Amino acid sequence: MDELVSIIIPVFNVENYLAQCLDSVLAQTYQHLEIIVVNDGSYDGSGRICREYAMQDSRIKVHNQPNQGLAAARNAGLNVATGEYVTFIDADDFIVPDYVSHLAAQIQRQRAEIVIGGQYVLDEASGNFLIYYNEQNYQVYLPTKATLLAKLTESRFITVWGELFHRSLFDHLRFPDGRYHEDAFVIAKLYLKAKRIVVLDESLYCYRKRAGSISTRLRPLNQIQDDLDAGNQMIVDVMLHQYDPQPIIERQAGLLRYYRWDLEQRGMENSSLYQRILSEQQSIEDYRSGKAERGEN
């Protein structure tokens, strides 16, 4: 495969990590790249680093915008991307040198529109690498649409980073501006639009688990609401296409239990969010009861 691949990297106040991310992108064995760095209103040294790297390599295009959040930054990258394929990298993560080439090879070999690559985790606190695919774990497979949608209960399959998409899948589709858990709002739609999807169990993308990131802080109420909204959106998307929503409903039930407990620890039983959680838990119980009465599993 020799088509242009657009790499979209949203950047916000990651001066301590950005160079490692960009170095890993420039070290790619697949060279036909368009590297779109979206500086989302950083006020540390990230903007300077972006400019320095853009001066070193003409493939790097820097887009500066006022801070609007991760979803808007990804959308800005999509709006200017010209590659046949697109992949997303968070600026505090990094990729192995064969990341693009191995994903692109599967795109070509399997005639797929999405390749879901393998991830591993760098736990910054301990310095240990976690969830690593070794050579014995390597495999390539083409899941059925139903099997893949059932995997939306697993974090690997809910994120857009670590995957390679045909850019046409984003026609008339963008991340929801101003919302957290933006991946979960769109990922089912992408899987449902794609005609052929490949899963590659190979450690190609390193997710950095760091203290202070969005994913490790105690979640504000609006983030909890967005998490629940994204889960409900996935359920609706799957049901509208007449696939079994049961695995995603059970995932949502787990989120509701956790957030109910979380709000109880904060003494927020009188909040509207707590009441919403109770209502949605009852809806899931009604759904389960209805299935039992109909003799469905």
Task: Encode pLDDT of 200-248 as tens digits.
Answer: 999 999 999 877 555 545 789 999 999 999 999 999 999 999 999 999 9
* pLDDT over 90, % of the chain: 86
- Is the pLDDT assigned to residue 70 strictly greater than 70? yes
pLDDT computed for residue 123 by the predictor: 87
CB atoms within 10 A of CB 251: 17
pLDDT computed for residue 127 by the predictor: 81
- Is the pLDDT assigned to residue 286 strictly greater than 70? yes
What is the Cα–Cα distance from 259 to 55, expressed in whole angstroms?
A: 46
Q: What band does 277 get if pLDDT is binned at 50, 70 and 90? A: very high
Q: What band does 165 get if pLDDT is binned at 50, 70 and 90? A: very high
pLDDT computed for residue 294 by the predictor: 79
Mean pLDDT of 71-80: 98
| Contact criterion met (CB below 8 Å) for 230 and 259 | no
Picking from 32-46, 153-167, 209-223, which range would have the lowest pLDDT averaged per residue? 209-223
Q: pLDDT tens digits, residue range 246-255?
A: 999 999 999 9
* pLDDT over 70, % of the chain: 97
pLDDT computed for residue 213 by the predictor: 54
The interaxial angle of helices 221-240 and 246-265, nearest 10 deg, is: 170
Instruction: Tell me which of 203 and 295 has the higher pLDDT.
Output: 203
Q: What is the bridge-based pairing of β-strands 5-11 and 85-88?
A: parallel
Q: What is the mean pLDDT of the chain?
A: 94
Residue 119 CB partners (closer than 8 Å, separation 6+)? 131, 156, 159, 162, 203, 204, 205, 206, 207
Q: Which two tokens stand for residue 141?
A: 């497979």
Residue 35 host element (H or E): strand 33-40
Mean pLDDT of 7-24: 98
| Contact criterion met (CB below 8 Å) for 221 and 228 | no
Instruction: Tell me which of 297 and 172 has the higher pLDDT.
Output: 172
Q: Which of 83, 73, 84, 65 is nearest to 175 (CA)?
A: 73
What is the Cα–Cα distance from 67 to 43, expressed in whole angstroms?
A: 10
pLDDT computed for residue 217 by the predictor: 55
